[in-house]
Amino acid sequence: MTETSVILALVVVTALGFDFTNGFHDTANAMATSIATKALTPKVAVALSGILNLVGAFLSVEVALTVSNAVVKIQDKSGAPKPELLADGGKALLLIVLAGLVGGIVWNLLTWLLGLPSSSSHALFGGLIGASIAGLGWAGVNWNGDGSKLDGVIGKVILPALMSPIIAGVVAALGTWIIYRITLGVAKRFTDNGFRWGQIGSASLVSLAHGTNDAQKTMGVITLALIAAGDWSDTKNIPFWVKAACALAIALGTYLGGWRVTRTLGKGLVEIAPPQGMAAESASAAVILASSHLGFALSTTHVATGSILGSGVGKPGAQVRWRVAGRMILAWLITLPAAAIVGGLMWWIGDLLGGGLAGSLAVFVILLAAAGYMYLRSRRTPIDHNNVNDEWDEARTDERVPAGVAN
Amino acid sequence: MHNVGFALEGAWKVLLAGVILGAGLPALFALGIRSLAWGAGGDAEVHGAGAGPAANPAGKVLAWVLFAVVLLGVVLGITFIVASGFGKALSFEHVFPTIVDK
């Protein structure tokens, strides 16, 4: 076993780890509303979502090798790695990818710990951008595209992130409003029961679309690493084992369920009733599918959150906790730069140790330590399928009340 | 800022499709539930004092027709995911959707 193949193995394991965090971070996007309205029990919801993610990941046979081309310049147009990065047995490229993945995972875990639904794609892109800046300089990043199409960090990441929650929110608000208008005066046993079914259907569609969209990104990254290390040469296809491993990783992650994030989305933002849940998930599914059809890349997380907020705005008399929403939007804004800083730092540490096996191992060990620490922190205030639906305000008794406030 | 132009161009299309599918289909579903309640009669809907309206089989039929339309929309959605995964696309050229090569 050569040095390169050990580094390659680290990259593959880390990439699958990212895929796993991607799964449990995003369970909430599809299932938070169904869990909150008790249309499905928490366990059944995550199992359904996991299976649909697995199926979705296998359905995505489209070549996703060029996925990172939108933001960083480490590949050419066909998806093959840039030759100058392959001089040293591909180690230069592998280190950038490894550092970028670590940046994405660390940020995903931190936002999960805080219960914030941040975008996994932003975390991945942020990590890669940071590692590329550290490794290749500012010119290593595709900031604004070449002007011929929607491209670059601005076109593929920032603008869609600004627009997609608004679009989803408008659609969900409109849907919610119409539904309540139409079913005005209908007995609750009809509306609640019916909309629960509608909700399960639309949430399933979101899960399937998530599997197709998100697992692809990791498949592309792993295949890129394989090509860099000289273990694969076909830029038109992805090895079957890569597809299977990524599909399993995202499905297992989804099944584990990111309960902390699910709680925020399902209970924290808005008190969701079944008609709102159905409107929110339908809006998410429609916006995700329509935009991927039109090549308008966006984050499932941003869409789902926008939809849930919209369903709160659209229901007459519903209350939206804007403070929670504000915290979340803040997390969105810093996701990309924060993951970039971690990615850049990891590259720098790896490079300091020679950029070879020692550097990669050090980066990997740092990842394990950070992940272990955050897991232990999460056990202090565990949230799981038992308490995911507890009343939001009761759970916040630890909140500081300024002295002298009468209540 | 060419990217802003491209993004806005994509955004209004997504918004349009989102409103039609993401708000329109749930609205049809809601109409279905309303018909179901209408078909059941009695206390299924708010009514004046005394006994509620009699059950009406037409309501039930209409409800299931509406649910079928919604289901069709969902099936189209799934077909779309699967088709694009296999390098195909849905074409609405002949009004009814057909699967074509990309």
pLDDT single digits (tens) A192-203: 888 999 899 889
Record: contact B84-A285, CB cut-off 8 A: no
Q: How far apart are CA A153 and CA A129, in angstroms?
A: 9
pLDDT greater than 90 at residue A17 = yes
For position A97, what pLDDT does the model report?
92
Quote the mean pLDDT of chain A: 86
The predicted structure's pLDDT at residue A407: 43
What's A227-262 look like in SS3? Answer: HHCCCCCCCCCCCHHHHHHHHHHHHHHHHHCCHHHH
How close are the terminal C-alpha atoms of chain A, in Å? Answer: 68
Residues of B in contact with A209 (CB under 8 A): 81
Asked if residue A257 has pLDDT above 90, the reply is no
Considering only CB atoms, which chain A residues are within 8 Å of B30?
178-179, 182-183, 275
Contact residues, chain B, for A191 at CB < 8 Å: 33
Could you report the per-residue pLDDT of A138-190, keeping only the tens digit for each?
888 888 777 777 777 888 788 888 888 999 999 999 999 999 999 988 888 88
Are residues A286 and A171 in contact, defined by beta-carbon separation less than 8 angstroms?
Answer: yes
**Residue A23 confidence (pLDDT) above 60:** yes
> Containing H/E element for B99?
strand B98-101
Determine contact, residues A289/B80, Cβ cutoff 8 Å.
yes
d(CA A116, CA A62) in angstroms, rounded, equals 31
CA distance A212 to A52: 10
> What is the C-alpha R_g of chain B?
20
Report the share of chain A in percent with pLDDT over 70: 93
For residues A393-402, average pLDDT: 51
Report how far residue A190's alpha carbon sits from residue A240's, in angstroms, rounded to the nearest whole number. 47
Residue A399 has pLDDT above 60, yes or no: no
pLDDT on residue A107: 93
Q: What's the rounded mean pLDDT across residues B32-37?
A: 91
Beta-carbon contacts of residue A247 (< 8 Å; ≥ 6 apart): A53, A54, A57, A58, A211, A215
Kindly indicate the confidence band of residue B85, based on its pLDDT and cuts at 50, 70 and 90: low
Distances (CA, A) of A90 to A5, A38, A73, A80: 10, 50, 15, 12
Q: For residue A397, what pLDDT band results from cuts at 50, 70 and 90?
A: very low
Q: Which residues on chain A are in Cβ contact (under 8 Å) with B81?
A: 56, 59, 208-209, 212, 289
Q: What's the gap in Å between the CA of B45 and the closest CA on chain A?
A: 4
pLDDT reading at A209 higher than 90: no
How many Å is the Cα radius of gyration of chain A? 21
DSSP A68-123: GGGTB-SB-TTSPBPGGGSTTTTHHHHHHHHHHHHHHHHHHHHHHHTT----HHHH
Average pLDDT of span B14-36: 91
pLDDT band for B17, please (50, 70, 90 cuts): confident
Q: Do A290 and B14 touch (CB under 8 A)?
A: yes
Q: What is the pLDDT of residue B24?
A: 92
Split at pLDDT 50, 70, 90, the class of A367 is very high
CB of A14 closer than 8 Å to CB of A364: yes
Is residue A398 pLDDT above 50, yes or no?
no
Shortest Cα–Cα distance, A143 to chain B (Å): 11
Query: What is the rounded distance in angstroms from the CA atom of residue A88 to the CA atom of residue A248?
Result: 32
Contact A283 B23 (CB under 8 A): yes
A113 burial (CB, 10 Å; 0-12 / 13-18 / 19+) is middle
- For B7, the closest of A163, A172, A191 (CB atoms) is A163
Q: What is the pLDDT of residues B57-77, one digit of tens each?
A: 888 899 999 999 999 988 887
B33 shares contact with chain A (CB less than 8 Å): yes
pLDDT, position B102 = 65
pLDDT tier, A339 (very low <50, low <70, confident <90, very high otherwise): very high
Closest by Cα among A264, A227, A315 to A25: A264
Is B21 in the A-facing interface, judged by CB distances under 8 Å? yes
Residue A320 has φ and ψ, to the nearest 5°, of -110, 130
Span A133-142, average pLDDT: 87
DSSP helix/strand/coil, A52: helix
Residue B42 near chain A (CB below 8 Å) = no
